[in-house]
């Protein structure tokens, strides 16, 4: 299900973002990056294209953490069992209605990098 080339590219992007910390030394956590990448790829593969938008952030809300967010009027997955299997990889998972009428699914991750201030 997970394309090796896409997985490698996402890992490269995540690594570059984590390493762009001015006053912080980051040591990447391969297990954390792998959990993040597997869930992101599972969402990409199973989310039905009905206008829902996927986004992610690294070092937000704090250094070494990250999130994946899906926002849309309807969030529908083509294979709920695959989605559920990979959703367990996140540190935290929330679903809530937003005031604009959209639904938000948010997955947060801790431990994407170990950091130390210089």
Tell me the average pLDDT across 33-50: 87
Full domain range(s) for residue 91: 4-117
Tell me the average pLDDT across 51-69: 85
Identify the pLDDT of residue 100.
95
- Does 21 or 11 have the greater pLDDT score? 11
End-to-end distance of the chain based on CA atoms, in angstroms? Answer: 40
Q: What is the crossing angle of helices 30-46 and 80-87, to 10°?
A: 160
| Number of domains the chain is built from | 1
């Amino acid at each position: 299900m997970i394309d090796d080339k896409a997985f490698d590219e996402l890992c490269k992007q995540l690594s570059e973002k984590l390493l762009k910390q001015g006053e912080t030394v980051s040591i990447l956590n391969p297990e954390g990056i792998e959990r993040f990448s597997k869930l992101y790829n599972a969402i990409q593969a199973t989310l039905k294209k009905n206008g829902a938008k996927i986004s992610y952030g690294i070092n937000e809300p704090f250094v070494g953490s990250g999130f994946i967010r899906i926002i849309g009027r309807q969030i529908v997955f083509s294979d709920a069992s695959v989605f559920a299997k990979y959703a367990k990889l996140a540190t935290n998972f929330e679903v809530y209605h937003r005031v604009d009428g959209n639904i938000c699914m948010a997955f947060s991750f801790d431990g994407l990098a170990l950091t130390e201030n210089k």
